[in-house]
Amino acid sequence: MIKYLLPILLIITTSCSLLAPTQRRDYHGRKERTTQRQHFTGVKKKVALLTFFNESPFGGQDLGVVATEELRRELQKTGQFIVDPMSARLFGSSKQVYSQGGSKLVQMTRKAKGEGVNFVVFGRIIEARVREKSDEVGFVRSTKSYSEAKVEIRIYDVNSNKEIYTDTLDGYADDNSYRFFKSDRNSQSKYRQDLLRYVTKVSVRKSIPRILDTAQKLEWIGRVAKIIGNNIYINAGRDSGLNIGDVLKVVTEGVDIYDPETGALIGVSKGEIKGTIEVVDFIGADASIGILHSGGSVHEGDFVKLY
């Protein structure tokens, strides 16, 4: 009975292996993707990213720089934003914005619109610390480190002239390491700083899905930079994601609406549509040439939106 059973099992095993899908790998041993990566095909929004600051007593301003650069990398990886270093200089640092209660953002809004900035991202490290617990006895001690960071991120929409997003994100990490009892102080300090940098990055990365959700609700807005003859030059082009044949609507600048009792800014009205422009060519890395598609009386400085 057994001698007949073994060949049958061998046949079943062989047939199953033939039916199973073949795992294809490239020269480096990587598996082929079953689905292609999704690439962003819309128009990218221009972001002014202000340098974060660290108000906790640990980690120094190095953590502010780490948070800023990590957020810059993560935003650029999405393919949905152009992080413009020149535009950030209009507003200064995050610390300046906080110290002035956000009034500087309101003051610089008109100039930022001229630069084509869609929104401003700024923030701070509220808390950063490392706690350690080690054995009391022994030449070689087992030490467990617990690190945490709390980062606040805010987004100011230039076009609506108001803050549209604020969130506080926590990052945690713990690590087991063995250290000699008489380890030098410099290596301990570097070790703690590396942990603080890591949890700061963890906190920042958590914000990306929420920032994407917020950005999707905002309209992309560009400007008419120059008009020469029949050519209308737009301050966005190939790098921003515009395509030849895109039709843009030209709108006037909205009017600020204030509360008659408190004097506080309520919002900005929608501008009036003056006409449409068709993109016919690109100029430079990120500018385009359009011609009047419908309507008229287009002027330099007018706003353009996707039709």
* CATH code: domain of residue 248: 2.40.10.410
Query: Are 252 and 302 contacting, i.e. CB atoms less than 8 angstroms apart?
Result: yes
Average pLDDT rounded to a whole number, residues 86-90 = 78
Task: Out of 216, 233, 268, pick the residue that ends a domain.
Answer: 216
Q: Report DSSP state, residue 37.
A: P
| Pair type for strands 221-228 and 303-306 | antiparallel
Separation between Cα atoms, residue 202 and residue 11, nearest integer Å = 52
Q: How far apart are CA 255 and CA 103, in angstroms?
A: 18
pLDDT at 222 exceeding the cut of 80: yes
Asked whether residue 64 is assigned to any structural domain, the reply reads yes
Query: Do 206 and 302 lie in a common domain?
Result: no
Percent of the chain predicted with pLDDT > 90: 41
- Residue 229 belongs to a domain: yes
The residue type found at 36 is Q
Q: By residue range, what is the domain housing residue 298?
A: 221-306
- Cα-Cα-Cα-Cα dihedral sign, residues 240, 162, 209, 72: positive
211 & 186 share domain: yes
Q: Is the pLDDT of residue 293 over 70?
A: yes
Same domain as 238, residue 139: no
Integer Cα distance of 57 and 153 in angstroms = 19
Question: What pLDDT is stored for residue 128 in this prediction?
Answer: 94
Considering its fold, how many domains does the chain have in total? 2
Least confident of 61-65, 152-156, 262-266: 262-266
Taking the C-alpha atoms of residue 148 and residue 173, their distance in angstroms, rounded to an integer, is 7
- Residue-averaged pLDDT of the chain: 81
pLDDT of residue 269: 73
In this prediction, residues 234-239 reach a mean pLDDT of: 91
Residue 40 lies in a domain: no
Claim to verify: residue 212 and residue 225 sit in the same structural domain: no
- Cα–Cα separations (whole angstroms), residue 121 to 93, 156, 171: 10, 6, 19
> Residue 68's pLDDT is what?
96
**Statement to judge: residues 54 and 148 lie in one domain:** yes
> Which pLDDT value is given to residue 44?
92
Length of the chain as a residue count? 307
